[in-house]
Amino acid sequence: MRKSLIAVAIGAALTVAACADKEAAQTTEQQAEQQVQQAEQQTAAATFNESNPFYAESTLPFHAPDFTQIEFAHYEPALLAGMEQHTAEIEAIANNPEPATFENTIVAMEKSGALLGRVSSVFGNVAGSAGNDDFRALQVKMAPKYAAHGDNISLNPDLFARVKTVYENRDQFEGEELRLIEDTYKGFVRAGAELNEEQKARIREINSELSSLTTEFRNNLMSLVDENMVVVEDKAELAGLSDSQIAQLAATAEAKDMSGKYVITVTNTTRQPILQSLENRELREKVWRASAERGSGNTATDNRPLVKQMAQLRAEKAQLLGYENWGAYVLEQSMAATPSAAQQMLRDLVPAVVSNVEAEMAEIQQVIDGEGGDFEVQPWDWAYYAEKVRAEKYALDSNEVKQYFEFNRVVEDGVFYAMNQLFGITFEKRDDIPTYADDIVVYEVKDVNGESLGLFYGDWFTRDGKRGGAWMSSFVSQSHLLGNKPVILNNMNITKAPDGEPTLLSFDEVSTMFHEMGHALHGMFSDVTYPSLAGTSVSRDYVEFPSTFQEDWTLNPKVIANMAKHHETGEQIPQELLDKVMAAKNFNMGYDTLEYIAAALLDLEYHTLTPDSAAGIADVNSFEQAALTRNGVAVEAVPPRYKSNFFAHVFAGGYSAGYYAYMWSEVLAADAFKFVQDNGGLTLENGQAFRDAILSKGNSKDPMQQYIDFRGQKPTVDALLERRGLTAPTID
């Protein structure tokens, strides 16, 4: 997953998508700061030796990290030494007396920074999956150093001059080489290489500030989980939960030195899964408020100032680079191309979605009234009463469904089986590959011909120090130039059952597992020469397409027959129950879609501000409410999936001005899946065609052309209508 070596360094180590790169003349103060940083790097390089496991490439299969040797103390000196080595390599390229060529400039840059990339990928992944206060403190310390290191590359006038020379002579190239030349040149320009020195100096300052603020926001999210725990002392208040769920809450309390109590921790979204089952309305409200109000000053950690600062700095940076706003800057290289196109897609959906929500709300209110409830449905009521509507409408008990989705069977007989049927690949456990935490399983992935493709790490369970949500990342990215095969990992936050009990999954968790495997295979099947173009190094509104495509195999009859078996009896899921699951698949879709659209429109509202308008935000919560109202999505009972103060995708990750991408990608995924279904379904032929045209290409070809190569035409929205039962826009 490498957009460039610098993107790996910053993105993997700090989980930040935007990467800046280098400059020449600075103010005296900036020169002094740079000298201090260089001195630090040189000191680290002088003390960095063979005793550090990052000193040389890992000798484990596929260069997998050797976690039997890696200790926390190894990271900082290796990171600093990596920057020093990379700086020297870049200086050698920039000052090469030979005329600039593709090989001695572009390819040389692709080969540079091996040490920094090696340590950054490990540090970033472990910090996000099994971090602690030490990791977070080091992230804070390293954030401005990474930003400065990036700037020292892409704002280097001598280096840019060489890149520009190659770009101006690009007519002699084609295919992947041409794509890399154009991508590299655009990256420099978009980083500010053509700005004057005063503007470059300000870009440096902004990049440093944004890097620090993003890291602070991310680390605050960890703090907010502990600050917003809901502690229950009376077990009776937990009525509606299963014995297993109650035992899990007790175990959480025990781990937090609150023996005899029950602790509910908030997950990353506004909606909390536990609200579906809790009968106690007062406790439901307490849990919902702990989630929805976190980061708003309700506890010691307040993210509101960070939201405002980042919106303002991003707007200022965009204008310095010649763009109207941050959204225009970000989306220039996306399939949507402009914020207005993304906003139009979402706004076109609003009337139909709100209509669905109103119908769903009426059904919920009818249940509340029928039970004698003297209140109107509130956000903390929705999931609880929606489950009652679902049970009545479809006679579907979600806990009954879980009995047929035992974790290990879902992995082995569901996800892996489906990928074998579609691509011919197999997953073989490698117990000899060390991991960074318990409960992680490593597999060697074998191709249809038996050849090794790479390694896959399954890190599926929640743990202290792990950020919320689900994601794919990599320790090693594929590259023929570097001779690397991929080492990929999937992360989820499944709550593991107590010892001796099976871990049973909700249907949503099963679907998410297929989704993340789609990302993993985008990295695993990458077949390109240059690391900057490998795997998932594509635009945000394309990267979710291959993963969303894989979700729909969850309900494929062959896959279901293989994995959906009762965890005690081994009996196949009854057809009647499966029919109910199928019928209920789009249940509550109005709610699901509106909470997503509201968050996506909120993201675009922040990132189409001017610097002055961002600075003029008096109160983040008031801005949020006004933005939702302005877009017609301010439905009190259906808040945004992510509220501003914990919107990790856009303020702590790589989706600023890009959260809309999930819906955009779903248009592609639904259209592609329908095409496959109409042409044989789950077959090796279809899998190979998808792999050849899409999964193997990375960013070596224009995304829409990739899609046309596979599908034979641009996507239409017809399949999305069927998938969601909603009116959707056309993608031009």
In whole angstroms, what is the distance from residue 365 CA to residue 386 CA? 10
Pairing of strands 441-446, 426-429: antiparallel
Which of 176, 216, 509, 516 is an active site residue?
516
Q: What's the token pair of residue 206? A: 């902004």
Residue 45: phi and psi, rounded to 5, are -65, -35
- DSSP assignments along 48-74, one per residue: --TTSTTSS---SGGG---TTT--GGG
DSSP per position, 607-628: TT--HHHHHT-S-HHHHHHHHH
Tokens of 186: 């655009």
- The C-alpha atoms of residue 632 and residue 528 are separated, in whole angstroms, by 44
| Strand 487-494 versus strand 452-461 pairing type | parallel
Long-range contacts of range 355-364, CB-CB < 8 Å, 24 or more positions apart? 355/590, 356/589, 356/590, 356/593, 356/594, 356/725, 356/726, 357/590, 357/591, 357/594, 357/635, 357/638, 358/590, 359/590, 360/386, 360/389, 360/588, 360/590, 360/591, 361/637, 363/389, 363/393, 364/389
Are residues 544 and 662 in contact, defined by beta-carbon separation less than 8 angstroms?
yes
3-class DSSP state for residue 588? coil
Question: 């769920």: which residue's tokens?
Answer: 245
SS (HEC) of 83-115? HHHHHHHHHHHHCCCCCCCHHHHHHHHHHCCHH
Task: State the amino acid at position 357 in one-letter form.
Answer: V
Phi-psi region of 500 (alpha: psi -120 to 50; beta: other; left: phi over 0): left
Q: What is the CA radius of gyration of the chain?
A: 25
Q: Is 459 helix (H, G, I), strand (E, B) or coil?
A: strand
Q: Please say whether the beta carbons of 267 and 273 come within 8 A.
A: yes
Distances (CA, A) of 223 to 132, 220, 226: 11, 5, 6
In angstroms, the CA 211 to CA 577 distance is 49
Query: Of the candidates 535, 532, 522, which has an alpha carbon nearest to the alpha carbon of residue 481?
Result: 532
For the sheet with 452-461, list strands across it: 426-429, 441-446, 452-461, 487-494, 471-476
> What number of other Cβ atoms are within 10 A of residue 679's Cβ?
11
- Rounded CA gap, 284 and 705, in Å? 48
Q: Is 516 a catalytic residue?
A: yes
Distance CA 271, CA 294 (A): 13
* Residue 466 three-state SS: coil
Residue type, 448: V
Up-side HSE of residue 31: CA atoms within 13 Å toward CB?
Answer: 6
Question: Which residues are paired to 445 by β-bridges?
Answer: 427, 454
- The set of catalytic residues is 516
